[in-house]
């Protein structure tokens, strides 16, 4: 069982290969668990998006700003930057990554509901393309910080069009009661206010309605609502230069899912704005990276249970959180099945001390201890959402390019995980807290002695 859209993954003489390399050889060389990406697939996915835009007359004015949160490895950001992509960021950390990877700040849009002062400052200094502003309070803050720098900050309001993207509730963002964006009914008044602020330059209108959309209709619904707003803004003398339609285009995680064609989704949107003087921005994340990655893991134990068999593997929810957090489905396949191994139904689980630590449930697999499994479609929101829970060093990341394997992030060592931690001194010596009064220092010291 393999999902569609992973053509870089083939079975040769029964053994799974990523591009030209056999997965058992990668496991041998780099250990497991191991995130493996295909260079060809990453290139093909971005190129497909760019080609869908290039094929449309209105596409010449459209820009792809990859949503860094999906997979923020420097090698991937660098690849996309070299292919001409811009970036959608949601933190100062992501801005730092984009710049470290050679990305162009002038192609960066900055989304997110909680931008801190230092993050706004850094983005203004870097001269990003646009802030996607998510509240009236954030607008004031950006205006104030831009003022101190003697700048005008380019902004869009992230408008919440109240469209149901029909996806998992945790990743639906465009509904009325979501924390994201400004309700569309309130947007006009806030734009009028923004246009009067001395250190704000109104550039665009932005929205992102949700993630993993398998139906394109909600994008069109959102666009229609935004165009009504655009017209109202024009009438009030607030011209809009760009429209940012966010990300959200889904992928087929399961055999029975069909991912919408990129061009089938984009063409109607481009048609609809073709006669307007507008630049467009898209912020795809998952669609560019999900199907370019897999998580390679080794079976540690098979454990028959009461009505359920467990395959206990060396990857866990800290390596791939999506199944535990969303009940998300990832195909799981044996890398090199041996003839004669009986097939049984397994819950594939990790070693973490949580019942929610599963990677897949009720999977028919012919496996033995020490066999390798590939968990598919993990290139987006896999490593990016990983943690070190249970003091599990994060997995190595490998990029396969043809017959080359490159380590793009080393496996962590246990000592890396506690390298920033410090023991308390045995005799309490007050540690001055930044901005603390001597009194507070005394409290800290006496507290340490008391314990
Ligand atoms: N733009 C904004 C403002 C976003 O919030 C997101 C994703 C994107 C673009 C990219 O969306 P995409 O094209 O990847 O669907 N952790 C979840 C997904 C969370 C998505 C959050 N926002 C998951 O594993 O399914």
- Compute, in angstroms, the gap from residue 243 CA to the centroid of ligand 1: 18
Atom of ligand 1 nearest to the CA of 285: 14
Contact 288, 45 (CB under 8 A): yes
Specify whether 353 is catalytic: yes
Query: What Å distances lie between residue 312 and 299, 324, 373, CA to CA?
Result: 6, 15, 11
Encode the chain (451 residues) as per-residue pLDDT tens digits: 677 789 999 999 999 999 999 999 999 999 999 999 999 999 999 999 999 999 988 888 999 999 999 999 999 999 999 999 999 999 999 999 999 999 999 999 999 999 999 999 999 999 999 999 999 999 999 999 999 999 999 999 999 998 887 777 766 666 666 788 999 999 999 999 999 999 999 999 999 999 999 999 999 999 999 999 999 999 999 999 999 999 999 999 999 999 999 999 999 999 999 999 999 999 999 999 999 999 999 999 999 988 899 999 999 999 999 999 999 999 999 999 999 999 999 999 999 999 999 999 999 999 999 999 999 999 999 999 999 999 999 999 999 999 999 999 999 999 999 999 999 998 866 666 776 555 545 555 555 555 5
Q: Mutation test of ligand 1: which of 131, 283, 287 has the most ligand atoms closer than 8 Å to its C-beta?
A: 283
pLDDT of residue 433: 76
Given this chain, do its domains 9-37+290-417 and 39-289 carry the same CATH topology? no
Q: Which residue do the tokens 């390798």 mark?
A: 372
Q: How many CA atoms lie within 13 A of 66 on its CB side?
A: 37
Q: In the CATH scheme, what architecture does the domain 39-289 have?
A: Alpha-Beta Barrel (3.20)
- Compute, in angstroms, the gap from residue 70 CA to the centroid of ligand 1: 7
CA-derived radius of gyration, the chain: 24
Burial (CB count within 10 angstroms: exposed 0-12, middle 13-18, buried 19+), residue 74: middle
Catalytic residue among 43, 130, 353, 451: 353
User: What is the CATH class of 9-37+290-417?
Assistant: mainly beta
pLDDT of residue 4: 73
Q: What is the pTM of this model?
A: 0.94
Q: How far apart are CA 127 and CA 158, in angstroms?
A: 19
Three-state secondary structure readout of the chain: CCCCCCCCEEEECCEEEECCEEHHHHHHHHCCCEEEEEHHHHHHHHHHHHHHHHCCHHHHHEEEEEEHHHCCCHHHHHHHHHCCCEEEECCHHHHHHHHHCCCCHHHEEECCCCCCHHHHHHHHHHCCCEEEECCHHHHHHHHHHHHHCCCCEEEEEEEECCCCCCCCHHHECCCCCCCCCEEHHHHHHHHHHHHHCCCEEEEEEECCCECCECCCHHHHHHHHHHHHHHHHHHHCCCCCCEEECCCCECCCCCCCCCCCCHHHHHHHHHHHHCCCCCEEEECCCHHHHHHHEEEEEEEEEEEECCCCEEEEECCCCCCCCHHHHHCCCCCEEECCCCCCCCEEEEEEECCCCCCCCEEEEEEEEECCCCCEEEEECCCCCCHHHCCCCCCCCCCEEEEEECCEEEEEECCCCHHHHCCCCCCCCCCCCCCCCCCCCHHHHHHHHHHHHHC
Q: How far apart are CA 35 and CA 341, in angstroms?
A: 26
Contact 173, 203 (CB under 8 A): no
Q: How far apart are CA 147 and CA 383, in angstroms?
A: 38
Copy the structure tokens of residue 182.
Answer: 């400004």
pLDDT of residue 57: 87
pLDDT of residue 174: 62
Domain boundaries, the chain: 9-37+290-417, 39-289
Q: Mutation test of ligand 1: which of 108, 158, 172, 247 has the most ligand atoms closer than 8 Å to its C-beta?
A: 247
Atom of ligand 1 nearest to the CA of 325: 24
The gap between the terminal CA atoms of the chain, to the nearest Å, is 57
Ligand 1 neighbours, Cβ below 6 Å, are 67, 70, 88, 111, 171, 208, 211-212, 246-249, 283-287, 322, 380-381, 385
9 strand-pairing partners? 18
Beta strands 343-349 and 396-401: pairing type?
Answer: unpaired
């Amino acid at each position: 069982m393999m999902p569609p859209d992973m053509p870089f993954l083939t079975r040769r003489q029964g053994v799974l290969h990523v591009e030209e390399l056999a997965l058992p050889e990668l496991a041998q060389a780099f250990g497991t668990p191991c995130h493996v990406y295909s260079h060809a697939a990453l290139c093909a996915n971005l190129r497909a998006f760019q080609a869908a835009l290039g094929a449309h007359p209105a596409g010449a004015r459209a820009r792809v700003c990859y949503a860094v949160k999906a997979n923020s490895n420097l090698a991937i950001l660098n690849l996309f930057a070299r292919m001409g992509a811009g970036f959608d960021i949601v933190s100062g950390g992501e801005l730092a990554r984009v710049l470290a990877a050679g990305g162009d700040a002038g192609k960066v849009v900055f989304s997110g509901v909680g931008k801190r002062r230092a993050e706004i400052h850094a983005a203004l200094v870097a001269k990003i393309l646009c802030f996607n502003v998510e509240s009236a309070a954030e607008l004031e803050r950006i205006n104030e910080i831009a003022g101190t720098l003697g700048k005008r900050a380019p902004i869009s309001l992230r408008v919440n069009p109240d469209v149901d993207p029909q996806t998992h509730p945790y990743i639906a963002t465009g509904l009325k009661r979501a924390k994201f964006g400004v309700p569309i009914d309130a947007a006009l008044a806030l734009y009028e206010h923004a246009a009067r602020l001395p250190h704000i330059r109104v550039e665009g209108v932005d929205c992102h309605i949700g993630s993993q959309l398998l139906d394109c209709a909600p994008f069109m619904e959102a666009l229609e609502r935004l165009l009504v707003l655009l017209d109202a803004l024009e009438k009030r003398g607030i011209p809009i230069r760009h429209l940012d339609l966010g990300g959200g285009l889904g992928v087929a995680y399961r055999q029975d899912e069909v991912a919408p064609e990129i061009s089938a989704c984009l063409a109607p949107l481009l048609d609809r704005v073709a006669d307007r003087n507008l630049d467009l921005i898209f912020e795809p994340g998952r669609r560019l990276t999900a199907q370019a990655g897999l998580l390679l893991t080794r079976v540690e134990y098979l454990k028959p249970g009461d009505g359920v068999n467990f395959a206990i593997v060396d990857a866990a929810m800290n390596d791939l959180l999506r199944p535990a957090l969303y009940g998300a489905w990832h195909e799981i396949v044996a890398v090199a099945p041996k003839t004669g191994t009986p097939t049984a139904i397994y819950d594939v689980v990790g070693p973490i001390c949580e019942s929610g630590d599963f990677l897949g449930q009720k999977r028919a697999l012919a496996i033995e201890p020490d066999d390798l499994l590939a968990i598919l479609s993990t290139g987006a929101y896999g490593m990016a959402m990983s943690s070190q829970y249970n003091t599990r060093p994060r997995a190595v990341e490998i990029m396969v390019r043809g017959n080359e394997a490159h380590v793009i992030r080393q496996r962590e060592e246990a000592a890396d995980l506690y390298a920033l931690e410090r023991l308390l001194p045995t005799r309490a010596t007050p540690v001055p807290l930044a901005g603390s009064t001597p009194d507070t220092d005394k409290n800290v010291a006496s507290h340490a002695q008391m314990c």
